[in-house]
Amino acid sequence: MTQIMRGKYSKSRRLCTAIHRPSQDSGAAVAIISSAFITLNLFIDRTAMKYRLLFLISGLASFLLLGSRSRILPEREAGRELPNIVILFSDDLGYGDLSAYGHPTIRTPNLDRMAAEGMKFTNFYSGSPACSASRYALLTGRFPVRSGFDWVLYPKSERCIHPREWTLAEGLKQAGYATACYGKWHLGTTKKEYLPLQNGFDEYVGLPYSNDMLPPQHPPIALMEGNDTLQLNPDQTQLTALYTARAKAFIRKHKKEPFFVYLPYAMPHVPLHPGEKFAGRSPRGAYGDVVEEIDWSAGEILELLKAEGLDKNTLVFFTSDNGPWIIKNELGGSAGLLRDGKGSTWEGGMREPGIAWWPGTIEAGALQLQPASTLDLYTTCLALAGQGPPEDGRSVDGRDISSLLLGEMDSSLLDNPYFYYGPHELQAVRKGAWKLHIITSSQTGRDYFNGKLPLLFNLETDPSEQYDLSDARPDMVQELMAEIEQHKKAVAAEGSFWGVE
């Protein structure tokens, strides 16, 4: 994988004033080495000429930038001052499925406490209403359309995460972090280069795709460790406990250096397999059992961080990859007051619980109403580690939301449009309070507005998307249509890495 130069710290300084700044000499030295590496890659890589040129230009530009400003790569020795990062990522959990978000019978005391001690987002989005595309967005900071692969990958999918993508794990690893992923990968298995270890993770244990992709429709599913198979068709009741134990062991092992733990749980994606201690406990049934076990897991991680004295130096973020799988009836979750669920670009498909926890840095009990997304986690976490996103011409759509975590108003974040990608296409955009649908779809087969399009909603006054205002506000329809057209053109012009090979 080609190494990519990164140029600058972003404006997250307010969040990370304790972060060590590298010396002029170390930055320049890294620049020279990295530029040489890039130049070498120009000759050994089989990338299309266009991208060779882009990398050459970016390498030289970064070298010049660093030569004068030297803002790259915190030194490993000083890395302890970098914050640890833990992302807890559930699968198919709805906006309304935690007690902190209003569920009346699912008990999530640990996540509720996490929100009480940290920040609760009420307008937090996943990158997609489907598993693979959502994970791509989280780990690359880019809208799913840029991936060049289908929105859900299957065990035999040939086009998966492109080796040129630069994942959050790769960025944090370059900054000196120990990195681990325990859980559902779902960004490709048919080539070694698609697997977690080749995408920035030092350790991996988990099912590499969804827990319902099973025989006879699919090959036996592997519980993997690194690039190897530990076991075929494992007992899924053990998974949450296993992932939690491995994450805790990794944190203990690496407590003296910065670490990144990505914990994408297998559930509450169906089939639901609660562990023995949780089965039959929740009034909400098996779905509640599974969510309560995930809540237990989150509590285990937070307690360990406190016990090890790491809590003041660790950002933990909890969210889900997409909304509830409502066509599974009681086996699926709830989006609360939001419309629809998984697979749909109605709010229920993509708006998720989002809880940020970092005692001493994030104010306890903070409520964050501004929109943000998993794409922003990419850019923000890189910034916390002193890394900028790649500067080789590719688009990175995530924003640095450090200011939001600090509870500050950042007017520069207010007017960014957020694009909702449904199955293979752009379906909607949100800007400020306003959301415009140009296409709607639902796994339920329902069309809630009898085919009328476009549809315009004010999500602040109407979070359930009940009252179409497209006729009343043609000016807003026009403005958002223009955002969509501009975005579509830019995306088409850039293409994906797959498109150049």
In this structure, the chain runs to a length of: 501
Contact by Cβ (8 Å): 164, 47: yes
Q: Which stretch in 32-40, 89-97, 241-249, 354-362 sits in contact with Ca ion by CB under 5 A? A: 89-97
Binding track, positions 114-153, relative to Ca ion; x by CB under 5 A: -----------------x----------------------
Q: How far apart are CA 126 and CA 121, in angstroms?
A: 12
Query: For Ca ion, which residue of 91, 117, 340, 376 counts as binding (CB under 5 A)?
Result: 91
The number of residues that bind Ca ion (CB under 5 A) is 5
Picking from 434, 243, 248, the residue whose alpha carbon sits closest to that of residue 347 is 434
* Residue closer to Ca ion, measured from CB, 126 or 361: 126
Q: Which is nearer to Ca ion, 91 or 347 (CB)?
A: 91
- The smaller minimum CB distance to Ca ion, of residues 2 and 442, is found at 442
Report, in Å, the least distance between residue 499 CB and Ca ion.
Answer: 26
What gap in Å lies between CA 228 and CA 226, rounded to an integer?
A: 6
- CA count, 13 A, side-chain hemisphere, 413: 20
The distance of closest approach from Cβ of residue 24 to Ca ion in the complex, given in angstroms and rounded to an integer, is 46
Which residue minimizes CB distance to Ca ion?
131
| Distance of closest approach, residue 185 Cβ to Ca ion, in angstroms | 13
How far apart are CB 136 and Ca ion at their closest, in Å? 12
Do the Cβ atoms of 258 and 84 come closer than 8 Å? Answer: yes
Whole-angstrom Cα distance, residue 85 to residue 50?
35
The nearer residue to Ca ion, 134 or 496, going by C-beta atoms, is 134
Q: Which is nearer to Ca ion, 236 or 470 (CB)?
A: 236
Q: Is 131 a catalytic residue?
A: yes
One of 9, 84, 92, 204 touching Ca ion (CB under 5 A): 92
Helix 239-253 to helix 286-307 angle, to the nearest 10 degrees? 10
What Å distances lie between residue 388 and 4, 231, 379, 380, 444, CA to CA? Answer: 11, 38, 7, 9, 41
Which phi-psi region, left, alpha or beta, contains residue 432 (left: φ > 0; alpha: ψ -120 to 50)? left
Minimum CB separation from Ca ion for residue 154, in Å?
14
Nearer to Ca ion, 92 or 295 (CB): 92
- Pick the catalytic residue from 16, 162, 181, 186: 186
Q: Which residue of the set 16, 103, 131, 181 is catalytic?
A: 131
> Least distance (Å) from Ca ion to the CB of residue 288?
18
16 labelled catalytic: no
Q: Which of residues 284-323 bind Ca ion (CB under 5 A)?
A: 321-322
Report d(CA 414, CA 365) in Å as an integer: 22
468 near Ca ion, judged by CB under 5 A: no
Of 129, 491, 200, 163, which Cα lies nearest the Cα of 346?
129
Q: Looking at residues 318 to 337 of the shown chain, list those that interact with Ca ion (rule: CB under 5 A).
A: 321-322
- CB contact at 8 A, 405 and 361: yes
According to DSSP, residue 199 is labeled: G
Site string for Ca ion, 385-424 (x = CB under 5 A): ----------------------------------------
Is it true that the peptide bond before 74 is cis, omega within 30 degrees of 0? no
Catalytic residue list: 131, 186
Contacts with Ca ion by CB under 5 A lie at 91-92, 131, 321-322
